[in-house]
With several copies, the nearest count.
Chain A
Amino acid sequence: MPWTREQIAARAAKELKDGYYVNLGIGIPTLVSNYIPEGVSVQLQSENGMLGMGPFPYEGDEDPDLINAGKQTITELPTTSYFSSADSFGMIRGGHIDLSILGAMQVAQNGDLANWMIPGKVVKGMGGAMDLVAGVKKVVVVMEHVAKNKDGSESAKLLKACDLPLTGAGVVDMVITDLGVFTIDENGGGMSLIELAEGVTLEEITSKTEAAFKVAL
């Protein structure tokens, strides 16, 4: 049985270590904050200028001056600090954030990541994604293992090389999908499968993965 979105998030949460400063993207990454292990204290960074991001406000307590990078209303914590966008991305680019968890359209076996544009479609912009993947110490991608096309067919997202425009070159350290977990060696050592979702076979994951990988279960 492949993992659900919640199970992917729970698996990603195991990468959190006590004292980490973490940036979570939109979608499955946001769910990771629900699975922070007991005894582990992490501070969430929001790249629009905040450390120590709290949960959504109670109804009626929304503050237009207090939003996250997804433009959602949020709250502050006793640990919170605010700063400018320049200071925020100085923090990101300077390698002070321990972990970034984000979604992807494609990941290549060398760690290339594509998640910001599809040629021919309306381009919305890269926002802070290129800065995050270039600057954060460890980049974890969480995504569905394959893309479902309109005609019902499936396309691999873990590729030998991305064909979409890149968000970052050689930036991904780990990929967690509904089928399993891969690591990518930042020194060119390639991709390794380190975990399978319960009930998923090596044959199945291999058949749905274009990228070359070592098996290190």
Chain B
Amino acid sequence: MSKKVFPDAKAALAGAIKDGMTLMAGGFGLCGIPDILIEAVRESGAKDLTFISNNAGIDGAGLGILLETRQIKKMISSYVGENKLFAQQFLAGELELEFTPQGTLAERIRAGGAGIPAFFTKTGVGTLVAEGKEERVFDGERYIMERGLFADISLIHAWKGDTEGNLVYRKTARNFNPMMASASRLTIAQVEHLVPAGEIDPDHMHTPGIFVKRIVHVTNAAKRIEQRTTRKRAA
């Protein structure tokens, strides 16, 4: 077996996670979140963590379970509206929060992984988001400078992975996972299907194995639905 494959989430985090670290967690809402790895973070007991994640989970699921245990000190997110516990802890001053527009967040992570320390964007010009940031005009349009993000550990969810660490995501569960896989010193992926290297068509891989240091096969990802919307079948 490849040296990258770990028997379970706990083993994959062992010796890696420490108090005060910055982590990234993939997912949009509860779609494509590394839920089993997040549970392992809870079990590790590591505290004062900063999490970079588009959302903060919901009460009882996703990063919500680390709010319950008060392991999170700070969130860098674009939207945290689904989580009552988040609001409580934030209003009580127990939680720091840095709001970043969703596209700027995605780009900051992509930049961090690609060795780009800063870039200019028109998103947020003339708003609260621009406060304290350098503004500059290019070709007559106003832009603000945003910084790349790089973390200690990234927690990723993928549909399929091989023993080399190459990953394939499924449908909209891709979201923030590919950029986060590239933007940490240590990227750990939970995969629903683990296959030998050589089985996935190399033109279909979304994340090359170089970015993935540890990989765990999970069979119990919850994959919960937040808003179950349907239409009736015609009779």
Contact = CB atoms under 8 A, between A and B. Distances in A.
A59 interface: yes
What interface size band does chain A fall in? 35 or more
Contacts of B80: 124-125
A56 B87 contact: no
Interface of B: 3, 28-32, 54, 77-82, 87, 90-91, 99, 101-107, 109-110, 112-116, 121-129, 159, 164, 166, 169-179, 182-183, 196-198, 202-203, 205-206, 208-211, 223-233
A58 B233 contact: yes
Interface stretch (A1-9, A84-92, A176-184, A197-205): A84-92
B-side interface mostly? loop
A50 interface: yes
A135 B227 contact: no
Interface of A: 19, 21, 43, 45-52, 55-74, 76-97, 112, 122-131, 134-135, 165-170
Contacts of B106: 84-86, 88-89
A12 to B, nearest CB: 21
B172 A128 contact: no
A131 B32 contact: no
Most buried by A among B173, B202, B203: B202
Given A72-B227, A73-B230, A82 B171 contact: yes
B31 A78 contact: no
Contacts of A74: 229
Contacts of B227: 67, 70-73
B174 A64 contact: no
Contacts of A135: 103, 115, 122-123
Given A65-B159, A65-B171, A96-B210, A130 B164 contact: no
Contacts of B113: 90, 94, 96
